[in-house]
């Protein structure tokens, strides 16, 4: 056999799920990881249910997509040199589909959800759906984990991370600290990954696990504080923009009075921009992970998350005030219409600003590996250019040869003038005239 061929490539291909012995031998490390995650889901289920309840708030409605995107990151960063076993992938797709259906039952069929809850327990269908979905996702991703060769030191590190996370959860639960209790699930999950595959698994799944932070609601105190400050900033900035473009306005508290009639434009809590801030923050972090830009550009993208979100919200409130002046009348219906419309416009507007930022960063600094060859001349010649030999490659000039009676041809005299043929002149060669001296 040829050296350097992976062991998995030398194994006979798996044709169907009937080769269960070979499947277990190949995927038992993944099955161990999935089993550990299932136990962790069961232990933290109450916290996860509380987190999902927070997703009903429009500020954190993106929380449903965060675990899915984390699974996509694991898929994109998997070892592509390892082939995907199709029968296992099909089984994973079936499990994932069943899990998504069970998780979607409360949203599409309340009666079915109530009957299932009364029969087997409240939130049990969702628990089964999450468990099946997680198992199906890992069978689709099919990570190759070298379970047998994980150093014992890494296992102890993973165990320590898991115990520290569980200790944080116990302490937070005892002291009624909701946010640390919810957050403890993420380091506990990292500990399970390290115990199953060692620290090397963090190169593959570390950023995906960190991205799960965006599924957690903000602490109540921070939510209230940010919402109040964002409302104040949006009110004052929007009033300044309205006055800058020539519209009469002034503000009192969180209310802006626009136009000669002083129509009241209230900046409510839902208009504070906190929802845009949380959603766009998760989006910027995802873009920073996926874009193939230098590290400093990724950091700039993350730092621009808050200014872009604030700018988009201020523009939305300002344009609403402009329409108040253009369309006088029943402003309550107008405000309701624009509130719903701008909800669909704000994210594309923020993405457009992010694209402009990428263009600026691209042309702001030229990296060493992007330096091109010297530019072409301003007026390049048309057609095929003629190449001239350098002076050093020209043949040496021949000395003038004196003509004789037996040789013909032409010769060059010292004066550089072609001499006469030797056959036409039988006398000695003519001497060049003496060089005239220039007068002083």
Angstrom CA distances, 337 to 265, 270, 330, 361, stand at: 13, 14, 11, 37
What's residue 121's pLDDT? 58
Tokens (6 digits) for 20: 């269960």
How far, in Å, CA of 106 to CA of 241, rounded?
45
CB hemisphere CA count around 89 (13 angstroms): 11
What's residue 380's pLDDT? 46
What's residue 19's pLDDT? 63
For residue 256, the SS3 value is strand
What's residue 397's pLDDT? 52
What's residue 276's pLDDT? 82
**Tens digits of pLDDT across the chain (440 residues):** 333 334 444 444 555 555 667 777 788 888 899 999 999 999 999 999 999 988 888 888 888 899 999 999 999 888 878 888 888 889 899 999 999 988 887 776 666 566 666 555 567 888 888 999 999 999 999 888 888 888 999 999 999 999 999 999 999 999 988 999 999 999 999 999 999 999 989 989 999 999 999 999 988 888 888 888 888 888 999 999 999 988 888 888 888 888 887 888 878 776 777 888 888 888 899 888 888 888 888 899 888 888 998 898 888 888 888 888 887 766 666 666 666 676 677 888 888 888 898 888 888 876 665 444 444 444 444 444 445 555 444 455 555 544 444 444 444 444 444 444 444 444 555 555 555 555 54
What's residue 154's pLDDT? 92
What's residue 222's pLDDT? 85
For residue 250, the SS3 value is strand
What's residue 119's pLDDT? 55
What's residue 415's pLDDT? 41
What's residue 224's pLDDT? 85
Each residue of 200-216: b (16+ CB within 10 Å) or e? ebbebbebbbbbbebbb
What's residue 85's pLDDT? 85
What's residue 120's pLDDT? 58
What's residue 185's pLDDT? 95
How far, in Å, CA of 296 to CA of 7, rounded?
39
What's residue 423's pLDDT? 42
Phi first, then psi: give them for residue 266, nearest 5 degrees: -90, 130
Tokens (6 digits) for 226: 């940010």
Task: Give pTM, 2 decimals.
Answer: 0.72
**Beta carbons of 285 and 211 less than 8 angstroms apart:** yes
* Residue written as token pair 């009639």: 261
In Å, how far from its chain's centre is CA 426? 93
């Amino acid at each position: 056999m040829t050296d350097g061929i992976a062991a998995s490539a030398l194994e006979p291909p798996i044709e169907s799920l009937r080769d269960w012995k070979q499947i277990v031998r190949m995927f038992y490390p993944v099955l161990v990881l999935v089993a550990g995650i299932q136990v962790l889901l069961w232990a933290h289920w109450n916290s996860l249910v509380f987190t999902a309840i927070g997703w009903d708030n429009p500020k954190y409605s993106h929380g449903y997509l965060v675990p899915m995107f984390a699974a996509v990151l694991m898929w994109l960063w998997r070892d592509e040199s390892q082939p995907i076993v199709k029968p296992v992938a099909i089984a994973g797709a079936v499990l994932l589909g069943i899990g998504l259906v069970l998780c979607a039952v409360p949203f599409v069929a309340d009666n079915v959800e109530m009957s299932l809850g009364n029969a087997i327990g409240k939130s049990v269908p969702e628990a089964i759906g999450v468990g099946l979905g997680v198992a199906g996702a890992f069978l689709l991703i099919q990570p190759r984990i070298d379970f047998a060769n994980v150093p014992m030191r890494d296992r102890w590190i993973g165990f320590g991370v898991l115990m520290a996370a569980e200790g944080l959860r116990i302490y937070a639960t005892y002291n009624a600290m909701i946010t640390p209790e919810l957050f403890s699930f993420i380091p506990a999950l990292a500990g399970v990954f390290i115990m199953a595959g060692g620290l090397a698994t963090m190169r593959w799944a570390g950023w995906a696990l960190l991205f799960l932070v965006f599924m957690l609601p903000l602490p109540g105190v921070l939510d209230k504080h940010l919402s109040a400050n964002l409302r104040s900033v949006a009110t004052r900035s929007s009033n300044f923009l309205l006055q800058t473009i020539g519209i009469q306005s002034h503000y009192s508290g969180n209310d802006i009075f626009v136009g000669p009639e002083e129509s009241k434009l209230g900046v409510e809590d839902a208009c504070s921009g906190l929802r845009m801030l949380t959603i766009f923050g998760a989006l910027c972090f995802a873009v920073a992970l996926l874009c193939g830009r230098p590290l400093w550009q990724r950091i700039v993208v993350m730092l621009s998350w808050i200014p872009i979100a604030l700018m988009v919200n201020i523009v939305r409130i300002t344009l609403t005030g402009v329409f108040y002046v253009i369309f006088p009348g029943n402003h309550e219906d107008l405000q309701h219409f624009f509130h719903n419309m701008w909800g669909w416009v704000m994210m594309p507007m923020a993405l457009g600003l992010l694209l402009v930022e990428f263009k600026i960063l691209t042309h702001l600094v030229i990296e060493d590996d992007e330096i091109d060859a010297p530019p072409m001349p301003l007026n390049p010649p048309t057609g095929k250019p003629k190449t001239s030999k350098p002076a050093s490659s020209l043949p040496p000039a021949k000395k003038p040869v004196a003509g004789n009676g037996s040789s013909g041809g032409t010769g060059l005299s010292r004066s550089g003038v072609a001499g006469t043929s030797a056959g036409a002149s039988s006398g000695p060669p003519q001497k060049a005239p003496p060089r005239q001296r220039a007068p002083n």
